[in-house]
Chains A and B, each alone.
Chain A
Amino acid sequence: MELVNIFVKSIFVDNMIFAYFLGMCSYLAVSKKVNTAVGLGLAVVFVLGITVPINYLLENYLLKPGALSWMGAEMAGIDLSFLSFIMFIAVIAATVQIVEMAVEKFSPSLYSALGIFLPLIAVNCSILGGALFMQERDYANIAQATVFGLGSGVGWFIAIVAIAAIREKIRYSNIPGPVRGLGMAFIITGLMGIAFLSFSGIKL
């Protein structure tokens, strides 16, 4: 039950895009077409689903003060938390590299469409944000952390597919030239963000 709770909460209430405004760069840049948006969205779900549990293990068995106590009592006093940024980032970058290689091999068209943004998932703030939220919220076990990662990914997926669908439709509207495309995407996201603010503060 707790797992369902975390899952639903991380999709809607704590939505990465609309509640915390994380992962905006790729969200805005790769939301012109629903197809590519679905591709990038799935990649983010995948990367978050893998990196959050890995980082959870790192955090609890390596980085956190006292985390090394499994290596013996004399190691319990070591605090490696100053390395947490670089460890999280390294795990994320490695995972992204694997995803990049996999996409390049299995779907060259998706690879060319995602272009520079696939490597940029590594610096997609929502991925590191996921790791940092996990660290902060101190989930009880790895199952909760995984569900949280997946839920955040799904929330991001829904958000990018939604904006891509709107942008596909809005192309047929008569918008002043200068604000067409990216400008409108910014403004629509702002409006969607305001709408989603109504979710914030809901306690499940």
Chain B
Amino acid sequence: MPNTESNSYTILFSAILVVAVGVLLTLVFSWTNPSYLKSVELEKRQNILSAALGKSVDREQAESMFDQYITDMAMYTADGALVEDGSETAFTLNQAKEVKKGADEERFPMFKFQNGDTVRYVLGMRGTGLWGPVWGFIAIESDLNTVFNANFDHKSETPGLGAEIKTDMFEGQFRPKDGNAKELYGDDGSFKGIRVEKTGKVPQSSPEYQHVVDGISGGTITSNGVSDMLQKYLQAFTNYAEKNGLKTQGQALLVD
């Protein structure tokens, strides 16, 4: 038995352990990462489609359905200027990197969904929750005002609290219910966006309620993160729509 308390033994032991663990982790990582990245990509397609369709989509079909229904995509800046980049599309855009670039340089992805006459715009969003990033997709009807659907996900929010943003209880609030849909513009025509507020803060009878979804009790920080995220991406989308006029591109999408 070697003297386990000597300095040289301690250093040797630590070195072997570090190398062993490092090699093991790197091997496992390089073995698992490709199929992980593939799953992430498929899931992204799935989420974009399910936001636009309002129902869940099989992972196996995600790729072919994506090619079928997502007819166009675009990237723009916060003030709504269209961005052309030969090396990246709205789909390959890494939003985790984009959000760190700062307000002036961040590019916002948008996907156009088309199924016959139905056209919807799906926005990719990313923000910050309590423990890590939160992200999601929100689908806007072709009137550029009515919210059709949204889905959210997170990396490490607290189960049962912040993590509730990906449940139907929360996401369902973005779908039109009994003829009442969430809307981006107020009755006076000014941009309001969608906010997440404490349940009951804005009464359901108030006209403001069409811009508000109820937050998660106990998950205030995550709710606020989602709220900021929604405002930011909806504002940018509105800027883009108003500036480049989805209308003036001959698509005549605004309902008069």
Do the two chains touch directly in the complex (Cβ atoms below 8 Å apart)? yes
Whether B177 is near chain A, meaning CB under 8 Å from some CB there, is no
Q: Roughly how many angstroms separate A52 CA and B153 CA in the complex, as a whole number?
A: 28
Whether A39 is near chain B, meaning CB under 8 Å from some CB there, is no
Nearest neighbor of B96 in chain A, beta-carbon distance: A65
Q: Roughly how many angstroms separate A201 CA and B224 CA in the complex, as a whole number?
A: 9
On chain B, the number of residues with a Cβ less than 8 Å from chain A's Cβ atoms is 13
The answer to whether B132 and A136 have CB atoms under 8 Å apart is: yes
Whether A86 is near chain B, meaning CB under 8 Å from some CB there, is yes
The answer to whether A201 and B220 have CB atoms under 8 Å apart is: yes
Q: Roughly how many angstroms separate A65 CA and B97 CA in the complex, as a whole number?
A: 9
Q: Knowing A132-B131, A136-B128, A201-B220, say if A82 contacts B25 (CB, 8 Å).
A: yes
Q: Roughly how many angstroms separate A14 CA and B25 CA in the complex, as a whole number?
A: 34
Interface residues of B in 85-106 (CB under 8 A from A): 96-97, 100
Q: Roughly how many angstroms separate A86 CA and B20 CA in the complex, as a whole number?
A: 13
Whether A168 is near chain B, meaning CB under 8 Å from some CB there, is no
Q: Roughly how many angstroms separate A136 CA and B128 CA in the complex, as a whole number?
A: 8
Interface residues of A in 7-33 (CB under 8 A from B): none
The answer to whether B25 and A83 have CB atoms under 8 Å apart is: yes
On chain A, the number of residues with a Cβ less than 8 Å from chain B's Cβ atoms is 11
The smallest beta-carbon distance between A94 and chain B, in angstroms, is 10
Whether A200 is near chain B, meaning CB under 8 Å from some CB there, is yes
The smallest beta-carbon distance between A95 and chain B, in angstroms, is 15
Q: Knowing A200-B220, A201-B220, say if A136 contacts B21 (CB, 8 Å).
A: no
Question: Which residues of chain A come closer than 8 Å to B97, judged between CB atoms?
Answer: 65-66
Query: B-side binding surface: helix, strand, loop or mixed?
Result: helix
User: Which of A66, A82, A137 has the most B CB atoms < 10 Å from its CB?
Assistant: A82
Whether A138 is near chain B, meaning CB under 8 Å from some CB there, is yes
The answer to whether A86 and B25 have CB atoms under 8 Å apart is: yes
Question: Which residues of chain B come closer than 8 Å to A82, judged between CB atoms?
Answer: 25, 29
Question: Which residues of chain A come closer than 8 Å to B96, judged between CB atoms?
Answer: 65
Question: Which residues of chain B come closer than 8 Å to A136, judged between CB atoms?
Answer: 128, 131-133
The smallest beta-carbon distance between A59 and chain B, in angstroms, is 13
Question: Which residues of chain A come closer than 8 Å to B21, judged between CB atoms?
Answer: 86
Q: Roughly how many angstroms separate A82 CA and B224 CA in the complex, as a whole number?
A: 27
The answer to whether B100 and A138 have CB atoms under 8 Å apart is: yes
The smallest beta-carbon distance between A114 and chain B, in angstroms, is 22
Nearest neighbor of A138 in chain B, beta-carbon distance: B100
CB 8 Å contact bits of B16-42 with A (1 = contact, 0 = none): 000001000100010000000000000
Question: Which residues of chain B come closer than 8 Å to A201, judged between CB atoms?
Answer: 220, 224
Q: Roughly how many angstroms separate A200 CA and B130 CA in the complex, as a whole number?
A: 13
Interface residues of B in 178-227 (CB under 8 A from A): 220-221, 224
CB 8 Å contact bits of A180-204 with B (1 = contact, 0 = none): 0000000000000000000011000
Q: Roughly how many angstroms separate A138 CA and B128 CA in the complex, as a whole number?
A: 11
Question: Which residues of chain A come closer than 8 Å to B29, judged between CB atoms?
Answer: 82
Interface residues of A in 72-95 (CB under 8 A from B): 82-83, 86
Question: Which residues of chain A come closer than 8 Å to B131, judged between CB atoms?
Answer: 132, 136
The smallest beta-carbon distance between B95 and chain A, in angstroms, is 13
Question: Which residues of chain B come closer than 8 Å to A66, judged between CB atoms?
Answer: 97
Nearest neighbor of B218 in chain A, beta-carbon distance: A197
Q: Roughly how many angstroms separate A86 CA and B29 CA in the complex, as a whole number?
A: 14
Question: Which residues of chain B come closer than 8 Å to A65, judged between CB atoms?
Answer: 96-97
Question: Which residues of chain A come closer than 8 Å to B133, judged between CB atoms?
Answer: 136
Question: Which residues of chain A come closer than 8 Å to B100, judged between CB atoms?
Answer: 138
Question: Which residues of chain A come closer than 8 Å to B224, judged between CB atoms?
Answer: 201
The smallest beta-carbon distance between A30 and chain B, in angstroms, is 25
Nearest neighbor of B33 in chain A, beta-carbon distance: A82
A-B contact pairs, 5 of them (CB 8 A): A86-B21, A136-B131, A137-B128, A138-B100, A201-B220
3 tightest Cβ-Cβ pairs between the two chains A and B: A82-B29, A136-B132, A201-B220
